[in-house]
């Protein structure tokens, strides 16, 4: 009976033990995302910040022992209120916001459960006010990021990164991002990630399939 119990426990732990020694850089994921953008208010008006909720798709692929490529697309919409300092809201406008990301990264083992990660990526951001006849406001930016990924348990991973982004939308902005993955099985997990800094923020929750 003791041997049978030991075998059963070993089988139950196998999906987590198989991935305990390293991090997967090949995966796809999808879920809910919210993109936040602070907006300047014209004199005499107050304008709500954009909080565009919607969806995201993301993925990564290891192309060499220490090199990976990655990408993501996030899209959401919001109704932004326009108010007077006295008198409250006088109007609202629908806003669509989206962001695409494409980049590559380098990773190196710091310890058995910890990786150092550095990334270079391109961001394409688009903000479109519906029915304004002005067209969308969009721009391109370049981002450099450095951080770590760490397994705090056999089935729980956390990561944190410092980012510097510059270009059309981000004006030399520093930000921090962090996330967590809880592995349900060897291949499937639940993920949550957030980023903030300057005039922008983002958070998302979803499901990841690792390979």
Q: What is the pLDDT of residue 130?
A: 85
Closest Cα to residue 115, out of 153, 69, 182, 66? Answer: 66
Q: What is the pLDDT of residue 131?
A: 78
Q: What is the pLDDT of residue 86?
A: 80
Measure the CA angle with vertex 191, ends 203 and 148; round to 5°. Answer: 85
Q: How far is the C-alpha of 135 from the C-alpha of 124, rounded, in Å?
A: 16
* H-type alpha helices, the chain: 2-17
Q: Residue-wise pLDDT tens for the chain (211 aa)?
A: 444 444 344 434 444 433 434 799 999 999 999 999 988 877 778 888 999 999 999 999 999 999 999 999 999 999 998 888 887 788 888 999 999 999 999 999 999 999 999 999 999 999 998 877 777 889 999 999 999 999 999 999 999 999 999 999 999 999 999 999 999 999 999 999 999 998 899 999 999 999 9
Q: What is the pLDDT of residue 20?
A: 39
Summarize pLDDT for 44-57 with one digit per residue, the tens. 788 889 999 999 99
Q: Is the C-alpha dihedral spanning 84, 89, 94, 97 positive or negative? A: positive
Q: What is the pLDDT of residue 50?
A: 92
CA distances for 15 relative to 27, 137, 184, 196, angstroms? 16, 46, 9, 34
Which residues lie across from 29 on neighbouring strands?
58, 208
Q: What is the pLDDT of residue 81?
A: 87
How many CB atoms neighbour CB 69 within 10 A? 16
Q: What is the pLDDT of residue 43?
A: 77
């Amino acid at each position: 009976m003791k041997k049978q119990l030991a075998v059963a426990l070993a089988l139950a732990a196998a999906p987590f033990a198989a991935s305990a020694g390293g991090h997967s850089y090949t995966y796809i994921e999808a879920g809910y995302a919210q993109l936040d953008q602070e907006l300047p208010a014209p004199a005499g008006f107050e304008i709500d910040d954009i909080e565009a909720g919607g969806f995201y798709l993301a993925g990564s692929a290891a192309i060499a022992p220490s090199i990976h490529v990655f990408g993501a697309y996030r899209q959401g919409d919001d109704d932004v209120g326009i108010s007077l300092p006295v008198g409250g809201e006088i109007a609202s406008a629908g806003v669509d916001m989206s962001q695409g990301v494409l980049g590559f990264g380098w990773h190196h083992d710091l310890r058995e459960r910890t990786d150092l990660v550095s990334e270079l990526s391109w961001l394409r951001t688009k903000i479109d006010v519906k029915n304004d006849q002005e067209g969308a406001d969009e721009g391109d930016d370049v981002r450099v990021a450095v951080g770590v990924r760490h397994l705090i348990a056999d089935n729980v991973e956390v990561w944190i990164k410092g980012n510097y982004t510059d270009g059309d939308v981000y004006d030399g902005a520093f930000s921090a991002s962090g996330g967590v993955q809880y592995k349900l099985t060897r291949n499937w997990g639940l993920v949550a990630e957030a980023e903030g800094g300057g005039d922008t923020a983002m958070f998302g929750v979803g499901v990841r399939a690792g390979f």
